[in-house]
Amino acid sequence: KNSSESLLSVNRMINIAHRGASGHAPEHTIKAYELGEKMGADYIEIDLQMTKDGELVAMHDADIDRTTDKTGFVHSFTLKELKEMDAGSWFNLESPGAAQEAYKGLKIPTLQEVFEHFGSDANYYIEIKQPDESPGMTAALIRILKEYQLIPAEREGAIVIQSFSKESLLEIHQQEPDLPLIQLLSYKQPAQITERELSELREYATGIGVNYLYLNESFIKDVREADLLLHAYTVNEKREMNALINWGVTGIFTNYPDRLSEVLGK
Ligand code: G3P
Ligand code: CA
């Protein structure tokens, strides 16, 4: 496998730092993203939520209960209010083995702050969450990507947009047809896919993202033969990483990019 090839080449296996190196540091903080880069991840994964005043922030859940010291929905707080919250201490309590003093009091970053910090050399794998709750999300995302001159992309694959919402992806595809899109699919049992579904996906998506628990060799073969990329989430054990790579996935989301780098011999 040739690392000089485009990140989205079918010959590459990409390492996606899921919510940053979130096994080692509080998810969706600059620290977690920094660690992801340091551990050899190709991409920083960012989940997006929208604040009451229309700002995009990096946050997985629709509410702040799990990852801050306060409670409530992200969309019911202004950015200023969210910035007062401690988005790091919860991790020290949850993961005492990885706890660090420096994680206490970490702040929720905005998408702009992430771009400011990591610049145009980093690669971003951005998820639009809860688009139905916050209608302006795709427009805000495109505006910010343009503001930071991340689109049109300098390098192929520098920006990837993912969502479970086909509607959001189609909206983006219509406005920015060159942006690579990953359709996230939610299977609750061993994954299967029809020719028709594959050709519908190919009309707008570069690939799909699937929970690894439901992946199987024949599904992976079908997807790859349809010329779609296949990224598996969220894989934290080396044994499982190896099995999926042997089956032909083209990317893995992991909370432990260091482990995946070791598996890939980097
Ligand atoms: O985006 C891929 C994977 O992260 C989807 O699951 O819930 O961790 O965003 P989630
Ligand atoms: Ca995600």
Q: Please tell me the total count of domains within the chain.
A: 1
CA–CA distances in Å: residue 173 to residues 48, 56, 162, 201, 259: 18, 20, 12, 12, 34
CA nearest ligand 1 atom 7, residue? 60
In a domain, 187, yes or no: yes
Q: What is the pLDDT of residues 39-79, one digit of tens each?
A: 999 999 999 999 999 999 999 999 999 999 999 999 999 99
Which structure tokens are listed for 154? 């300098």
pLDDT score recorded for residue 1: 40
Q: What is the pLDDT of residues 80-124, one digit of tens each?
A: 999 999 999 999 999 999 999 999 999 999 999 999 999 999 999
In a domain, 4, yes or no: no
| Strands 229-233 vs 251-254: parallel, antiparallel or unpaired | parallel
% of the chain with per-residue pLDDT over 70: 98
pLDDT at 2 over 50: no
Q: What is the pLDDT of residues 227-241, one digit of tens each?
A: 999 999 999 999 999
In a domain, 6, yes or no: no
In a domain, 2, yes or no: no
Considering only CA atoms, which of 150, 152, 87, 163 is closest in space to residue 124? Answer: 150
| Ligand 1 site, CB within 6 A | 18, 47, 60, 127, 162, 184, 209, 233-234, 253
At position 19, the amino acid (one-letter code) is R
Q: Is the ipTM, as predicted for this complex, more than 0.90?
A: yes
In a domain, 1, yes or no: no
Report CA(233)–ligand 1 centroid distance (Å). 7
Which segments within the chain are labelled E, that is strand? Answer: 14-17, 43-50, 56-58, 124-128, 159-163, 181-185, 207-211, 229-233, 251-254
In a domain, 9, yes or no: no
Q: Cβ(251)–Cβ(16) under 8 Å?
A: yes
| Residues known to be catalytic | 18, 60
CA–CA distances in Å: residue 246 to residues 3, 42, 148, 192: 18, 20, 37, 19
Q: From the alpha carbon of 162, which atom of ligand 1 is closest?
A: 1
In a domain, 224, yes or no: yes
Residues spanned by the domain of 148: 14-263
Q: Name the one residue in this structure whose structure tokens are 């050899």.
A: 40
In a domain, 3, yes or no: no
CA nearest ligand 1 atom 6, residue? 233
Residue 3: which pLDDT band, with cuts at 50, 70 and 90?
low
Which segments within 51-102 are labelled E, that is strand? Answer: 56-58
Q: What is the CATH number of the domain that holds 246?
A: 3.20.20.190
pLDDT at 30 over 50: yes
